[in-house]
Structure 1
Amino acid sequence: MVAADRHTGQTQRGAYTLLLVLSGVALGVSGLPAPLYGMYEEVWHLSPLSTTVVFAVYAVAALGAVLVSGRISDVVGRKPVLLAALFAMIVGLGVFLIADNMALLLVARTIHGAAVGSIVVAGAAALLDLRPDHGARSGQLSGVSFNIGMTVAILGSAVLAQYAPHPMRTPYAVVAVICAVVGIGVVALREPHSARTRGPIRIAKPAVPRDIRGDFWFAALGAMASWSVLGVLLSLYPSLAAQQTHVHNLVFGGAVAGTTAFAAALCQLCASRVPARRAAIVGDVGMGLVLLAMIPVLATHNWMLVLAAAALLGATFGLGFGGSLRHLSDVVPADRRGETMSAFYLLAYAAMAIPTIVAGWAATKWPLSAVFPWFAGGAAVACIVAAVVGAISTRRRQAADVTR
């Protein structure tokens, strides 16, 4: 009996790690084309608006996925949703392999948006199923896996595109093989969601349990502020950094985005003992300040300063988003995990898509170097507002606790 329990624990630990790896691979796929957008613009004569539309289509598809995938995974289980999403992700990579025009890019990114959105929501719920008493830890490790996956994918994509043959094909072929290997592990995964929800599968309403609404909005505002920064960072900022520093090697553009993601992962990992609320507030304030500082940094045309600013932005992003996700994961009720995480990522993806499209449109009217200061200023204001709202809600919560 003891041996059986030990074997079960090992199986569960393996499942938990597999889900974190899957989350990292999914977010890696989302960032995979980031170093290649400049190449698409040059080879296919696309405008910055076209680039951001391709990116935003991904976010819109992810929005649709997070609306339904949480509820579907509550009803049919996490494993079927994860397997279907992983298969779709490989199909999307196949479309990238044959893409020779913008229409196919849009198709590929739409498939990937739906797949990644489903994995993010169903995977987050599955992690909580496996370790229901470690919500904050699961939220922290999810954020770390997201950013490590993006770091590896973006840097790997940039290196392959710069030095390997067939630069607009090879990165997708390599990642497709990785997805297939992870898929073997998911096939062997035992279903983690034993208490299924009854009822028809429907589009989830953007609502959360009444007793955690204050906590939810505190976490969601921080996520929205940080993901609005993430959208432009992955779609336009690598090209802008290359323009301003006069370093046109694809690896540099990938290093800028990769440095941000890696710093975010490292900060989330090291901030585990910082209370989630405090981490989110400090991170939001830090993001606002770093965004404002990036305006004069770009004007120096110094690539080392640009990389340093990217690292600082990643560290503050890790605190802000990581703290928000940890806090929500710790308070969400067990029977509402799927729908609550859907609502959370719905707002996050909306905050990513809308500023990205606006920035891309503006870049068709004015130089990207003139657009970025306005975007940075607006995003900085959003980050500071999220921090202020978080601080006020924290004080009210403390006052209510004292009253009780």
Structure 2
Amino acid sequence: MTTATQPAGPACATDRSAHGRGFWLLAATFMTLMAFTTVPTPIYHYYQERDGFPTFVITLIFAAYGIGVMVGLYFAGHLSDVHGRRRMLAAAIGLTIISAAVFVLSQDTPALLVARLISGLAIGVLTPTATAALGELAAAHRPDRSPAFASTVATVVNTGGLALGPLIGGLLVTFLPDPMIIPYAVFLALAILTTAALWATPETVNPVAPQDRPAYRPQQVALLPEGRASFRAAALSAGAAFSVLGFFTSLTGTFVGRVLGYGAPLVTGSIVFGVLGMSALVQVLLSGLDQRTRLITGVVAIIAGLALVAVAALVRNLPLFVIAGLAAGAGVGLIFQASVATAVRFSRPEARGGTLAGLFLAAYVGITLPVIAVGVVATWWSIPTVLVVFAALVAVVIAACAPVMLRSARPA
């Protein structure tokens, strides 16, 4: 959709202060809702132990989330360009509250699938909307600041939230009763609290009047002509990078528990926290470097990490698997950051939300379909063999896309 976005207008000093507060409130909301999506990671073990289902069912539960994200992105990820950022953020919060309530009220497998699907829908609406809104809030608060600041914060809270979820979930199920209820109840309360944060966040896009809105269409990517090849490479790279996150968030418990013999939920949660936390941390630590240098570092890190994942799977070594995850996580963070920066750079300003939705759609195709494939193939092949093949395929995709992204990266 390419309807002209109507900015909320220039800000006075008081408005700028409100936009600054709103920026950090939205960042906290973004991180909270993203953390909720990975809370189930260390809890899958309990469902599997209780119901005795195979690894493939875990991948299906995870895939329900990914499908929800893709549907949300495709059909609603761009709507904040027309209806305003706050309205769509409110929809994302509402869907998260419903998802958490389903988790709390029912713990059978069909309910898990429904709750994960709704959670995915929420994130499909949230990610492009919040990312665009953070950029606009930052520009209204500090017009002199580089857009890279908001882009970095958006990707850090996105991946940082994903990192916190498994750690918080692992701690809650280890030290509190009712492991299949308490974590979701905690996040149900947090999601309700985010409504107050949203209320205090200024709108950055004036909704288009109903009579001026064109007929509804699913999201479309609107790019500057010179950016199409770069965007395709960024989208493929984001998908490949997120497939690594998909593996770690859905199948770490199975690999660590069944292959390596470490079944404690806190072990699984800590490993996934390390992978996703490194993805967020490296973006902060290397924020002073230019985009090209960060991208090169990310490509080297993810390929090295994937190689170590393959070796760790073959030799069945937990410390090596942890090191591999940290390296791969660092690479994911830097590649995803470069992908978002590329999408923002080459998007048409009036359709930035839709373009970001297209990038996130590619990322969540990567986080979903490869994980389903891994779960299916793992019914015939051993898990170590599957990991070796998976690591090799992802490394090939990253290596193929890297030269195109490097040509379009800003040297400074």
TM-score by length of 2: 0.89
Give the equivalent residue in structure 2 for 1:127: 134
Q: Which residue of 1 aligns with 2:85?
A: 78
Q: Which residue identity lines up with residue 72 of structure 2 in the other structure?
A: A
Partner letter of residue 290 of structure 1?
A: G
C-alpha displacement of 1:11: 0.7
Partner amino acid, structure 2, of 1:9? R
| TM-fit CA distance, 1:348 | 1.0
Percent identity for Structure 1 against Structure 2: 27
Distance 2:223 2:358 in 1: 7
Which amino acid is the alignment partner of residue 95 of structure 1? V
* Secondary structure, aligned partner of 1:71: coil
Determine the structure 1 residue equivalent to 2:50: 43
Report what 2:186 is aligned to: 174
Structure 1 counterpart of 2:190, one-letter code: I
Report the equivalent of 1:163. Answer: 175
SS of the aligned residue for 1:203 comes to coil
Asked if the contact 1:208/1:339 (under 8 Å) is kept, the reply is no
Q: Tell me the residue number matched to 2:391.
A: 376
Q: Among 169, 181, 205, which residue is 1:193 paired with?
A: 205
Greater shift, 61-70 or 196-205, is seen at 196-205
- 1:62 is matched with 69
What is the aligned counterpart of 1:154 among 166, 188, 191? Answer: 166
1:25 aligned to 2:40?
A: no
Is 2:127–2:357's contact at 8 Å kept on the other side of the alignment?
no
Please point out which of 216, 237, 245 is paired with 2:231: 216
Measured in 1, the distance between the counterparts of 2:319 and 2:366 equals 29
Alignment of 1:114 onto 2:129 = no
Q: 1:226 aligns with which of 228, 241, 244?
A: 241
Change (3 A) 1:195 1:272: farther
Contact 1:225-1:379 at 8 Å conserved across structures? yes
1:143 alignment partner, one of 143, 152, 155:
155
Alpha-carbon shift at residue 195 of structure 1 (Å):
6.9
Deviations 1:106-143, CA, capped at 9 Å, x for gaps: 10011000001111011112122223464322221111
Q: Kindly indicate whether residue 327 of structure 2 is the aligned counterpart of residue 315 of structure 1.
A: no
Query: 1:289 and 1:304, CA in 2 relative to 1: closer, same or farther beyond 3 A?
Result: closer
Letter in 2 for 1:62: V
Alignment correspondent of 1:402:
none
2:349 is matched with 334
**Shift of residue 311, structure 1, vs aligned partner:** 1.6
Shift of 1:50: 1.1
CA distance in 1, matches of 2:196, 2:38: 23
RMSD: 2.2
Q: Distance in 1 between matches of 2:126 and 2:387?
A: 32
How far off is 1:381 after superposition?
A: 1.5
Q: Residue by residue, what CA displacement relative to the aligned partner does 1:292-351 show, whole Å, maximum 9, x if unpaired?
A: 112222444443333222222211222111222233334433211111111111111111
Q: Is the Cα contact below 8 Å between 1:241 and 1:298 reproduced in 2?
A: no
- For 2:56 and 2:260, the matched residues in 1 are separated by 22
The size of the alignment, in residue pairs, is: 393
Which position in structure 2 is the counterpart of 1:265? Answer: 280
**1:44, CA displacement in angstroms?**
1.4
The amino acid that maps onto 1:322 is Q
Aligned twin of 1:235: 250
1:13 to 11, 14, 20: 20
- Equivalent-residue separation in structure 1 for 2:53 and 2:33 (angstroms): 26
**What SS does the aligned partner of 2:53 have?**
coil
Unpaired segments ≥5 residues, structure 1: 399-404
CA distance in 2, matches of 1:138, 1:330: 13
Give deviations 1:146-178, integer Å, cap 9, x for gaps. Answer: 122122221010111122100111110111111
Say if 2:313 and 2:385, in contact at 8 Å, map to a contact too: no
For 1:329 and 1:272, the matched residues in 2 are separated by 17
Q: 1:331 to 1:210 in 2, by over 3 A?
A: closer
In structure 2, the CA distance between the partners of 1:37 and 1:207, relative to structure 1 (3 Å rule), is farther
Per mean C-alpha deviation after superposition, the further-off stretch among 325-334 and 45-54 is 325-334
Residue of structure 1 equivalent to 2:4: none
Distance 2:230 2:147 in 1: 14
Q: Distance in 1 between matches of 2:31 and 2:331?
A: 20
Deviation at 1:284, TM superposition (A): 2.4
In structure 2, the residue corresponding to 1:378 is in which secondary structure?
helix
Q: Whole-Å Cα distance in 1 between the matches of residues 127 and 44 of structure 2?
A: 24
Counterpart contact for 1:278–1:323, Cα < 8 Å: no
Distance in 1, matches of 2:76 and 2:300, equals 32
**Inter-partner Cα distance in structure 1 for 2:339 and 2:181:** 36
Match of 2:103 in 1: 96
The answer to whether 1:249 aligns with 2:261 is: no
CA distance in 2, matches of 1:64, 1:208: 22
Seen in structure 2, the aligned counterparts of structure 1 residues 195 and 100 have a Cα distance that, compared at 3 Å, is closer
Indicate if the aligned counterparts of 1:136 and 1:327 stay in contact, CA closer than 8 A: no
One-letter identity of the residue aligned with 1:184: A
SS of corresponding position for 2:27? helix
Q: 2:79 aligns to what SS in structure 1?
A: helix
Q: 1:127 to 1:201 in 2, by over 3 A?
A: farther
Q: Deviations over 1:87-110 (max 9, x none)?
A: 110110111112232111110011
CA distance in 1, matches of 2:150, 2:56: 37
Change over 3 Å in CA distance of 1:342–1:354 after alignment to 2? same
Does the Cα contact within 8 Å between 2:156 and 2:280 map onto a contact in 1?
A: yes
